[in-house]
Amino acid sequence: MPIRYEELEAKALEALPHTLVDYVAGGCGNERTQDANVSAFDRLGIVPRMFRASRERDLSIELFGMRLPTPLFMSPIGVIGLCAQDGHGDVATAKAASRTGVPMVASTLTVDPLEDVAAHFGATPGFFQLYTPTDRDLAESFVRRAEIAGYKAIVVTLDTWVTGWRPRDLRSGHFPQLRGHCLENYFSDERFRSMLLKPPQDDLQAATLQWAKIFGCPLTWDDLPWLRSLTKLPLLVKGICHPEDARRAIDGGVDGIYCSNHGGRQANGGIAAIDMLPAVVKAAGKTPVLFDSGVRTGVDVIKALALGATAVGIGRPYAYGLALDGVEGIVHVLRCLLAEADLFMAINGFPTRADLQPEIVQRIAG
């Protein structure tokens, strides 16, 4: 297994079926936002401190009353199921979560139903990411199922009620969901099945078309009270990048903000997600802010924490680990990130999370 991200990515893209490469590696438009997400971390530097050596470091965090051994989580990746060589990548991710204590945020778009995924979390908490369908009863059914299956929080993704302009997918014509892949949460749902004339397995095309009709609801602020009413579990909203949106969502009762630009896959606005994080953190006050988009190294994790993220989401890197070596591959990727972060904290004199504050980060000119 490669240690450096660049080698991991190159090797995984060779290993993945060509039908998936564009979907996983590609982004929106000319992909400048996707690239900026990564390169923006290189413009942030950290000033080391000496005479603060500590043999023990503590990377643990507190989130919604849970003590987590690391500040990482695995961001929701629809089609992660297909990235595994055995076609059950959601279950593999859940097993890796169990092994590492790094929570998985399970996407709505899974190969295996959310209940089967949750069965492998072990003692690690799992979160369910909701793509809000136009049918409110279906949304409610997903949330109810997630609660019963033991998920510990609901993450509502706001930036993907319609798919962004993705030239690579348009060129390849390969959009997995439109081929009926990763729709098991829908196909196993009584409410969704009631919308079909025949069971999905008897008419996959009709079921897939029905999915396409109901997949994304263009949510507005008027929908927030309804979303809030769906669950007593911690509710997070994913895709928040503007401080005013963070404030308004918190006023509307959400428990967590998830600052992300979807890894540059949805809208090609040009600003790296990490550059939007500090303002969101400031606006969020005491409310936890989860962050992802562009994190590739353990030092990136430290920079995001120092800029105020409560927890840091890993996206494509774990998909590539999975593609190469299943559960072991994900565990390897997470352990590399954590080892680098831990050594960085050790050598630079920041033994605990509390030592990682905005003032240790300096913007590098040019």
Ligand X SMILES: Cc1cc2nc3c(=O)[nH]c(=O)nc-3n(C[C@H](O)[C@H](O)[C@H](O)COP(=O)(O)O)c2cc1C
Q: Show which residues are catalytic.
A: 262
Considering only 36, 61, 73, 76, the residue that binds ligand X (CB under 6 A) is 76
Determine the length of the chain.
366
Residue 266: how many other CB atoms lie within 10 Å: 22
Q: Which stretch binds ligand X (CB under 6 A): 56-64, 92-100, 262-270, 350-358?
A: 262-270
328: which residues sit within 8 A by CB, 6+ positions away? 1
104 vs 351, beta carbon nearer ligand X: 104
Judged by CB under 6 A, the number of residues near ligand X is 23
User: Which 79-138 residues touch ligand X, going by CB under 6 A?
Assistant: 79, 107, 109, 129
Residue with Cβ nearer ligand X (63 or 351): 63
HSE at residue 81, side-chain half, CA atoms within 13 A, is: 22
Verify binding: residue 265, ligand X, rule CB under 6 A. Answer: yes
Token look-up 């033991």 returns: 150
Select from 293, 297, 310, 348 the one that contacts ligand X (CB under 6 A): 293
Binding piece for ligand X, criterion CB under 6 A, among 53-61, 77-85, 169-177, 203-211: 77-85
Q: How far apart are CA 167 and CA 162, in angstroms?
A: 15
Pick from 95, 152, 166, 262 the residue near ligand X by CB under 6 A: 262
In angstroms, the Cα distances linking 165 to 27, 249, 332 are 8, 27, 33
Q: How far apart are CA 80 and CA 199, in angstroms?
A: 25
Nearer to ligand X, 42 or 202 (CB): 42
CB 263 within 8 A of CB 285: no
| Rounded (5°) CA angle 237-240-243 | 125
Are 265 and 294 within 8 A, CB to CB? no
Place of tokens 């918190």: 250
321 vs 351, beta carbon nearer ligand X:
321
Quote the least distance from Cβ 46 to ligand X, whole Å: 20
Please identify which residue in 120, 238, 332, 353 interacts with ligand X, judged by CB under 6 A. Answer: 238
Site string for ligand X, 28-67 (x = CB under 6 A): ---------x------------------------------
Query: CA 300 to CA 261: how far, in whole Å?
Result: 16
Is the separation of the CB atoms in 98 and 125 below 8 Å? Answer: no
Calculate helix-pair angle for 298-306, 316-348, nearest 10 degrees.
70
Instruction: Scan residues 215-234 and list those touching ligand X (CB under 6 A).
Output: none
* Residue placing its CB nearer to ligand X in the complex, 263 or 329: 263
Binder among 68, 77, 94, 276 for ligand X (CB under 6 A): 77
Task: Single out the segment in contact with ligand X by CB under 6 A; choices: 40-48, 132-140, 198-206, 289-297.
Answer: 289-297
Full 3-state SS string of 73-86: EECCCCCHHHHCCC
Binding flags for ligand X, 141-180, as an x/- string (CB under 6 A): ----------------x-----------------------
**How many C-beta neighbours within 10 Å does residue 125 have?**
19
Which member of 184, 189, 292, 300 binds ligand X (CB under 6 A)? Answer: 292
Name the one range near ligand X by CB under 6 A: 43-51, 258-266, 328-336, 349-357: 258-266
Contact 291, 272 (CB under 8 A): no
Nearer to ligand X, 43 or 57 (CB): 43
User: For ligand X, which residue of 28, 235, 295, 304 counts as binding (CB under 6 A)?
Assistant: 295
268 binds ligand X (CB under 6 A): no
Closest by Cα among 160, 310, 131, 145 to 227: 131
CA distance 299 to 41: 9
Binding residues for ligand X, rule: CB under 6 A, are 23-24, 37, 75-79, 107, 109, 129, 157, 238, 260, 262-263, 265, 292-295, 315-316
